A and B are shown apart, each in its own frame.
Chain A
Amino acid sequence: KQEVTQIPAALSVPEGENLVLNCSFTDSAIYNLQWFRQDPGKGLTSLLLIQSSQREQTSGRLNASLDKSSGRSTLYIAASQPGDSATYLCAPLNQAGTALIFGKGTTLSVSS
C-alpha cells in the first residue's frame, strides 16, 4: 500500500526566501506525480505534473523534481511571497493509473 510522507509538516519563512518541500513515497511503481496547492477550506489547485520518465518540471517560480527509484520528489519555490501561503500536497498516481494517493501536506506561511 502506497504511503506518502511530506516533510516538513509546517514551515514559516520571511518573504523572498527560496524553499524546498520534500515528499517521499514507499511504492516507486508510479505513473506520475502531481503537486497541488490547497488554501484553507478550499479545493485543490494543480501546480505541476511530473511524468515518471521526467526528472524535472517547471512553472514560473516553481520547480518540481522526481527521483522515482528512490521514491522522492521535491518542490522548490523561488523568491517566496505572502500569496504562496497555503498547504502543498504531493500525490503520486498508482501504477494502475486509477488513484492519486496524498500526503498530509506541508503548510507554508510566508510573512511580509
Chain B
Amino acid sequence: EPEVTQTPSHQVTQMGQEVILHCVPISNHLYFYWYRQILGQKVEFLVSFYNNEISEKSEIFDDQFSVERPDGSNFTLKIRSTKLEDSAMYFCASSQSTTDYGYTFGSGTRLTVV
C-alpha cells in the first residue's frame, strides 16, 4: 500500500536554528498538509497546500514557518528560528481528493528543540 514517507524520524536542534522537515507524499496525490502534535496534546492543523500554493493555514503557522514543494516528489516544512515550544511531533499528510478519499498520514518527525 502506498505510504507517505517522512525524514528524519527524529531531529534535535538548538533554539534559534533553522530546521527543514522532509516529506514524500503519495505519488498521485495532489493535496498536501502539515500537522503537529505537542506531547500529550491533540493533533493540530498547520497548513494545507495545493497547486503550488497554500490553500489554508492556521494561526500557529506564522512567519516562522514556510512550506515548499521543491520538485515533483518532495514537500518540506521549514521553521526559521526554532523555539522550545516548537518541540513536537510533526506529521505530513497527503490526499488524492480531500472530499472523496480522505487523508494518508506519514509516521512523523519528532522535533526536539534544546
Question: Which A residues fall within an 8 A CB radius of B?
Answer: 31-32, 34, 36, 41-46, 49, 51, 89, 91, 93, 96-105
Beta-carbon contact of B102 and A97 below 8 Å: no
Beta-carbon contact of B99 and A99 below 8 Å: no
Q: Would you list 28 pairs from A and B whose C-beta atoms are within 8 A, ordered by A residue?
A: A31-B98, A31-B99, A32-B99, A34-B103, A36-B105, A43-B107, A43-B108, A44-B91, A44-B93, A46-B102, A46-B103, A46-B104, A49-B101, A49-B102, A51-B99, A91-B43, A96-B56, A97-B98, A97-B99, A98-B48, A98-B55, A99-B48, A99-B56, A100-B103, A101-B45, A102-B35, A103-B42, A105-B42
B108: chain A residues within 8 A (beta carbon)? 42-43
* Chain B residue nearest in CB terms to A98: B56
Q: How far is the CA of A44 from the CA of B101 in the complex (A)?
A: 15
* Chain A residue nearest in CB terms to B107: A43
Q: Does B44 contact A (CB under 8 A)?
A: yes
* Chain A residue nearest in CB terms to B97: A97
Q: How far is the CA of A43 from the CA of B91 in the complex (A)?
A: 7
Q: Does B106 contact A (CB under 8 A)?
A: yes
